Amino acid sequence: MDLSESQTLLMACLCARWCGTCGSYEAVFAACAAAYGARVQPLWVDIEDDADLIGGIDVENFPTLLLARDDALLFLGTVTPHAQTLSRLVASALAGDLKPAAADAESATLPRRLRAWAAARQRGQNIS
Amino acid sequence: MNTAHLTASPPASPPAGPTAAASGVCWAEMVTHRSYLVRFAQRKLRDPLLAEDAVHDVFEAVLSGRAVFAGRSALRSWLTAVLKHKIVDSVRRNAGTDSLDELGDPDGEGCRALALECPQPRPDQIAEQHQLLMLMLQRIEALPPGLRDAMRLRVLEEQSTEAVCRELGISEENLFVRIHRARKQLLS
């Protein structure tokens, strides 16, 4: 099933301010998000600044990528910081080639928390 | 040691005439300068007792004939010059010591006597540190399990990175991320 027309793919990068790799990866991430336009919802999340959002989820290394369709977690894991890797994963998710991933309860609900967090942040920006 | 309280006051009666005469100084005239000399010494020494001692030493030197007034200057100028030497002697004598009286003035400059204070924490400081430690341990226990275990093994038990990674079955990078996340949460 091609998901690109019907649903926006949540595309979140879990990073930390002190991570040098994340710093250089941000441009790669932004470029990929721009390439896919409205088909993806990009989020850049500092797991330390927003520790409550991530909770006890183990982030093994950076960058850690999360892909989700609606509330269904498709991918959550550390990726190599290359544009091709990111683009290939996003394309697969949009094409429906990634199936919902098995996850613990906290990880499984992370997409919903991230969307709520992004919506709240958006509202805050609109107010200010 | 200060002895001024015992010796600073001039003798009740003038000393024997020959001694004073040997110094070329009239005792009665010399005594009239005493207040001035004491004030001068106090300004230099900033210690009333040491000042009295220094002036006493001047008088003693004059009376004993060790200092002889030749009349080449005013008596007060000559006594002041002698006093300056006594002040220098006093400073040298006390250079390696601090008065315990200064303990009452912790803001005073050069109060090296404060070094006598025990460098160990006071009981109230120990109690405060203990409370902070207990609070921090509680906060570590309240961390998510992954972060808590990393902190416990690596920071509290000071196990090596290799040992912690082996025990938790994680990479060094993961341990680093966990420790960093934990510290950030503990400091928040």
Chain B residues within an 8 Å CB radius of A60: 170-171, 173-174, 177
Question: Confidence band (pLDDT; 50, 70, 90) for B1?
Answer: very low
Distance of residue A45 Cα from the nearest chain B Cα, in angstroms: 13
Q: How far apart are CA B123 and CA B144, in angstroms?
A: 34
Ordered domains of chain A (ranges, CATH) = 9-127 (3.40.30.10)
Do the Cβ atoms of B174 and A18 come within 8 Å?
no
Handedness of CA B48, B49, B55, B59 (dihedral sign): positive
- What pLDDT sits at residue B114? 59
Q: Is the pLDDT of residue B124 over 70?
A: yes
Distance of residue A93 Cα from the nearest chain B Cα, in angstroms: 26
Question: Confidence band (pLDDT; 50, 70, 90) for B23?
Answer: low
Do the Cβ atoms of B177 and A59 come within 8 Å?
yes
Q: What are the residue ranges in chain A where pLDDT is below 50?
A: 1-6
Do the Cβ atoms of A58 and B188 come within 8 Å?
no
- What pLDDT sits at residue B3? 41
Best probe of the A interface among B147, B173, B177, B187, by most A CBs < 10 A, is: B177
Size of interface A-B (CB pairs under 8 A): 34
Q: Residue B20 contacts by C-beta under 8 Å, 6 or more apart in sequence?
A: B14, B26, B27, B30, B62, B63
- What pLDDT sits at residue A61? 93
Q: How far apart are CA B46 and CA B110, in angstroms?
A: 12
Do the Cβ atoms of B146 and A55 come within 8 Å?
no
- What tens digit of pLDDT does each residue of B53-74 get? 898 888 888 888 877 888 888 8
Q: Is A110 exposed, middle or buried (0-12, 13-18, 19+ CB in 10 A)?
A: buried
- What mean pLDDT do residues B9-30 have? 57
- What pLDDT sits at residue B92? 83
Taking domain B123-187, whether its CATH number is 1.10.10.10 is answered by yes
Segment (H or E) for B165? helix B161-168
- What pLDDT sits at residue B9? 43
> Does ipTM exceed 0.85?
no
Distance of residue A66 Cα from the nearest chain B Cα, in angstroms: 17
Any idea where the domains of chain B sit in the sequence?
A: 4-100, 123-187
Question: Confidence band (pLDDT; 50, 70, 90) for B144?
Answer: very high
Higher pLDDT, B42 or A2: B42
- What pLDDT sits at residue B8? 40
Higher pLDDT, B12 or A57: A57
Q: Which of A90, A79, A118, A76 is nearest to A4 (CA)?
A: A90
Do the Cβ atoms of B188 and A51 come within 8 Å?
yes
Do the Cβ atoms of A16 and B177 come within 8 Å?
yes
Do the Cβ atoms of A47 and B181 come within 8 Å?
yes
- What tens digit of pLDDT does each residue of B84-102 get? 998 988 888 877 666 665 5
Q: Residue B80 contacts by C-beta under 8 Å, 6 or more apart in sequence?
A: B37, B40
Distance of residue A62 Cα from the nearest chain B Cα, in angstroms: 9
